[in-house]
């Protein structure tokens, strides 16, 4: 089977469960009844998409912000220093933290702007696809020096052919090396409401929806023998409450807060520095206050249903 219904993980036939249109492009979502993967067709990665400043999440990264998500912290808690390569490294915040923890680091990203910021931090970062269409490794990466760790945080869900990608990534690993990464959890709390308001979880951004079962199945199909898939803990309760608020109300309170802050900014232009500091602290305080009604739900899910977390973390080795 080789048509658009073919599951990219197990090659079974899928059932159409949804559709999405953007401009002149149209995609169909299929669900595999064999391995549980959900996937969009057609799947074509658009490099220019990741360098488009109109994409808010990526624009934020290009401003040089340094922050570690729980997925990065989880890796750094569990891994011992060694040679590390990060696929989709962005502006290099995670690589910089890993370097400070004793890792020998390098990475690659599709966005030239993000790579430029990473290089400004003294990091070895290439631009482009890790592999070309023929499966050849990027010419800026030395295949003769394999890595103890390859990380791919929020990368697999973007792949047109995830099985092929994973099999190629195996070639970067040294004997005893491990692939680690994360993906959005298809079974996360309020997933339907989140997708209705989040265009980033649809093509041309995300092509694959993983459950813990379908993720493990894919990794094993790629030849990894030792696989562990874990829910990413919702350690930041304020952030999780914000997610619930946005999913259920569409971020109404955020829009109201931004409108008020913009009005205040307009009246304080003569004292720009003080205004900027005041607005930042106001937003931080307002973020906590506005989400107070959503904290009980966030705490309940975190405590009673950890598998409903927003992300899945995985580790996979083949020896």
Confidence band for 56, pLDDT divided at 50, 70 and 90: very low
- Residues 168 and 283 placed together within one structural domain of the fold: no
- 234: in domain: no
- Residues 111 and 219 placed together within one structural domain of the fold: yes
- Residues 61 and 100 placed together within one structural domain of the fold: yes
- Residues 160 and 280 placed together within one structural domain of the fold: no
- Residues 9 and 81 placed together within one structural domain of the fold: no
Model pLDDT, residue 274: 52
Model pLDDT, residue 53: 56
Q: Quick: pLDDT tens for 16-44.
A: 999 999 889 999 999 999 999 999 999 98
- 231: in domain: no
Residues in the chain, overall count: 319
Q: Which domain CATH number covers 173?
A: 3.40.50.150
- 26: in domain: yes
- 235: in domain: no
- 206: in domain: yes
- Residues 108 and 13 placed together within one structural domain of the fold: no
- Residues 193 and 286 placed together within one structural domain of the fold: no
Q: Which of 28, 45, 34, 29 is nearest to 11 (CA)?
A: 34
- Residues 58 and 207 placed together within one structural domain of the fold: yes
- Residues 201 and 71 placed together within one structural domain of the fold: yes
Total domains present in the chain: 3
Contact (Cβ atoms closer than 8 angstroms) between residue 244 and residue 191: no
Determine the structural domain holding residue 36 and report its residue range. 1-42
- 305: in domain: no
- Residues 152 and 113 placed together within one structural domain of the fold: yes
Decide: pTM greater than 0.75.
yes
Q: Where are the alpha helices (DSSP H) in the chain?
A: 56-62, 70-78, 93-100, 112-120, 162-170, 191-197, 212-221, 237-249, 252-266, 272-290, 295-304
- Residues 96 and 215 placed together within one structural domain of the fold: yes
93-100 vs 70-78: helix axis angle to the nearest 10? 20
Instruction: Tell me which of 26-40, 80-94, 169-183, 241-255 is least confident.
Output: 241-255
- 36: in domain: yes
For 238, counting Cβ atoms within 10 Å of its Cβ (0-12 exposed, 13-18 middle, 19+ buried), the class is: middle
- 11: in domain: yes
Q: Quick: pLDDT tens for 208-245.
A: 999 999 999 999 999 999 999 999 999 999 999 999 99
Model pLDDT, residue 307: 97
- Residues 185 and 36 placed together within one structural domain of the fold: no
Q: Is the pLDDT of residue 1 over 60?
A: no
CA–CA separation, 177 and 83 (whole Å): 9
User: Is the peptide bond preceding residue 28 cis, with omega within 30 degrees of 0?
Assistant: no
């Amino acid at each position: 089977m080789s048509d658009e219904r073919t599951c990219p993980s197990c090659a079974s036939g899928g059932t159409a469960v949804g559709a999405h249109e953007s401009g002149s492009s149209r995609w169909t979502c299929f669900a595999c009844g064999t391995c549980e993967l959900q996937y969009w067709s057609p799947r074509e990665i658009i490099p220019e998409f990741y360098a488009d400043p109109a994409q808010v999440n990526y624009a934020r990264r290009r401003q040089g912000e340094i922050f570690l998500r729980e997925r990065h912290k989880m890796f750094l808690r569990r891994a011992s220093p060694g040679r590390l390569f990060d696929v989709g490294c962005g502006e290099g915040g995670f690589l910089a933290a890993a370097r400070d923890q004793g890792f020998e680091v390098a990475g690659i990203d599709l966005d030239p702007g993000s790579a430029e910021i990473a290089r400004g931090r003294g990091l070895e970062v290439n631009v482009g696809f890790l592999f070309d269409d023929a499966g050849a490794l990027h010419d800026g990466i030395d295949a003769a020096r394999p890595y103890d760790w390859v990380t791919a945080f929020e990368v697999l869900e973007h792949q047109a052919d995830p099985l092929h990608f994973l099999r190629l990534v195996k070639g970067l690993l040294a004997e005893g090396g491990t692939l680690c990464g994360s993906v959005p959890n298809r079974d996360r709390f309020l997933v339907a409401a989140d997708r209705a308001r989040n265009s980033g979880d649809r093509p041309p951004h995300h092509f694959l929806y993983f459950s813990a079962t379908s993720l493990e199945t894919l990794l094993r199909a790629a030849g990894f023998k030792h696989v562990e898939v874990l829910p990413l803990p919702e350690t930041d309760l304020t952030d999780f409450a914000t997610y619930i608020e946005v999913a259920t109300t569409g971020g109404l309170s955020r829009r109201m807060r931004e409108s008020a802050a913009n009005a205040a900014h307009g009246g304080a232009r003569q004292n720009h520095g003080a205004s900027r500091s005041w607005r930042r602290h106001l937003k931080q305080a307002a973020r906590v206050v506005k989400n107070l009604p959503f904290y009980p739900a966030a705490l309940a899910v975190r405590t009673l249903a950890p598998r409903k977390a927003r992300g899945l973390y995985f580790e996979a080795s083949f020896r």
